[in-house]
Structure 1
Amino acid sequence: MIRCENIVKKYRGKEVLKGVSCHLDEHKIIGLIGRNGAGKSTLLNILAGHIKPTAGKVSIYNSNPFNSITAATNTIFIEEGMTFAQNDNIAQILKTARRFYLNWQQELAEKLLQYVGIHLNSSHQNLSKGQRSTFNLIYGLATRCAITLLDEPMNGMDEAVRADMYRAILKEYIAYPRTIIISSHHLKEIEHLIEEILLIHNGQVVFHEELEKMQQYAVQLVGQPEQLEPYRNHALFVKQEGLLAEVVIERKYFDGQSTIQVQPVSVSDACRYMTASTTGGIDDVFQ
């Protein structure tokens, strides 16, 4: 449904995306993961049709999303910087959305806004950062667009509201399946939602698989330094304190030695190790 073929995007001569290729099926929740500056927001802007790639090809339902009214009516892109008509209050913003989005759910939007305490006569620009993020996400869910793109949708929300909004996303998806791509730094928080991970690092895709494969991707080995020495060449992360050392490697490189303690590696930690610039983390700075 969504295809990217060797997408390149340059800003002032700098490559932000460096040949991104991926195929995303419909009716899935996909986690778009990566460090700051990896190119996540740029990719979402391209998928939303807001900007054109410098090179490569992107297609959604077999058509280019850039300046496409078909893509615009079937895609919603929720980001922190999204704006609405300056003089419109929340009620007027919802009224406009009802005219534009074919599947707009007015009752859902009003119920969710009432639940989180955002009044219809409020001005969007006068909402707090957390309230704006909450409204924007509710707006995105209420469109029920076939493609829903969420760029750091929980920014500014307190923990309780984030928990409620995660449940809202899941309930909406179960009731009305659609393609939802979530870019987030809170990977541990969204892990229960996502079915696939699209991991981007330095403008390139380094991992695109089902969540279960990432859950089994790496292991942590703990033992004597000499026991772990054979695994250092494949290490994603190495740490030594006192008499014990630990090494994180891809599971495929572990030969099953019974004298070495083996521990699972979380999805969040695996993504962090895979995109790290060193194998020692912050400790390398202080050596």
Structure 2
Amino acid sequence: MKIEACHITMQYKQKQVLKDINFTLEGPKIIGFLGHNGAGKTTFLNLLAGLIPSTTGEFKVNGQPAFNNTAVLQEICFIAETGNFQVEMSVEQALKANQFFYPKWDRALADELVEIFALPLKTKVKNLSKGMTSALGIIVGLASQAAITIFDEPYIGMDVAARSKFYDVLLEQQEINPRLFLFSTHLIDEVSDLFEEVLILQQGEVILHTAIMDWDDTIIAIRGDKAQVEKIAQQHTIIHEHVFMKEKTIVLRLQQPLDETSSIVVERVSVQDVLVYLSNQKKEGVAV
């Protein structure tokens, strides 16, 4: 499965939400699609799911346009943060409605997950708790067996135990029937071990796209004498910097192999930390 973003821009009135986005994603794989609030993630995911057209550019799935293409849309399941189901439907009716749309629907898996998450089949969606509504979305996403399955903050209201069940089933299903999962979340430390690739959106632009196996060779922190650290940083892209006493720390995206000095300490930086640093940046148009 291959997704191509070809010069995607999105503009609402005078505001440009997405700015000339270009990338290729190939699966099967679990990809973290990350960014702070207002980065453009929700608009991006709606475009990818074929729900709205872009202002310019195009999403392609296996070479075919995603928007208004039924054959492609049946291969994409998008579970949004809210509003996935008609509230007057019962849980059972919501599952049946999705079964009709997705040709690869796994009824046995749906039934199993209903038991795992203890969902009341006869209860209307509007009477479910937030956690149960999220569980219903997770069930649909996994049982759809869609080649591209998108989860956007899928577990609002779910406790740690329920989220842990979700992660276990997600990994199990990826072994049984591999597909391309896109996962947007703010609980990054909790789920980053699931990711095989990370794509970070900042102010409507893709500023970082890398395989997790390459993360530690791409994003690092260097710490030591201020002058030495700043000299090394000149050859790379600065994500974050701070000074404590006479020591300076700079988080870098490496542009070439690091020219290390014995007096400089090199440290690992987590995906969560990078998101925090980026969300705190106040300069516009920062390219990482």
- Whether the TM-score (by the shorter chain) exceeds 0.5 is yes
2:135 maps to 134
Q: Distance in 2 between matches of 1:240 and 1:253?
A: 24
Q: Which amino acid in the other structure matches residue 185 of structure 1? A: H
**SS of the counterpart of 2:94?**
helix
**SS of the counterpart of 2:92?**
helix
1:248 maps to 251
Q: Which amino acid in the other structure matches residue 89 of structure 1? A: S
1:103 maps to 104
Structure 2, unmatched stretches of 5+, are: 284-288
Task: Measure how far apart 1:26 and its partner are.
Answer: 2.8
Q: Distance in 2 between matches of 1:124 and 1:222?
A: 52
Matches within 5 A, 1:155-234: 155-231=156-232, 233=234
1:149 maps to 150
Q: What per-residue deviation string (whole Å, max 9, x for no partner) do you get for residues 94-136 of structure 1?
A: 2222222211122211221212221111211211112211210
Q: What per-residue deviation string (whole Å, max 9, x for no partner) do you get for residues 32-77 of structure 1?
A: 1111111111111111110000001221122222222112221111
Structure 2 length-normalised TM: 0.89
Residues 27 and 179 of structure 2 are in contact (CA less than 8 Å); yes or no, is this contact kept in structure 1?
yes
2:80 maps to 79
Task: Measure how far apart 1:254 and its partner are.
Answer: 4.0
Residues 236 and 273 of structure 1 are in contact (CA less than 8 Å); yes or no, is this contact kept in structure 2?
yes
Q: Distance in 2 between matches of 1:147 and 1:21?
A: 18
Structure 1, unmatched stretches of 5+, are: 280-287
1:237 maps to 240
The yes-or-no answer on 1:266 pairing with 2:270 is yes
Q: Against the structure 1 CA distance between its residues 94 and 236, is the aligned structure 2 distance closer, same or farther, given a 3 Å change threshold? A: closer
**SS of the counterpart of 1:270?**
helix
Task: Measure how far apart 1:149 and its partner are.
Answer: 1.2
Residues 214 and 270 of structure 1 are in contact (CA less than 8 Å); yes or no, is this contact kept in structure 2?
no
Structure 2 counterpart of 1:257, from 238, 253, 261: 261
Residues 31 and 182 of structure 2 are in contact (CA less than 8 Å); yes or no, is this contact kept in structure 1?
yes
2:286 maps to none
Q: Against the structure 1 CA distance between its residues 57 and 95, is the aligned structure 2 distance closer, same or farther, given a 3 Å change threshold? A: closer
Task: Measure how far apart 1:142 and its partner are.
Answer: 0.6
Q: Distance in 1 between matches of 2:48 and 2:13?
A: 21
**SS of the counterpart of 2:214?**
helix
Task: Measure how far apart 1:14 and its partner are.
Answer: 0.8
Q: Distance in 2 between matches of 1:228 and 1:244?
A: 9
**SS of the counterpart of 1:216?**
helix
Q: Distance in 2 between matches of 1:137 and 1:230?
A: 48
2:10 maps to 9
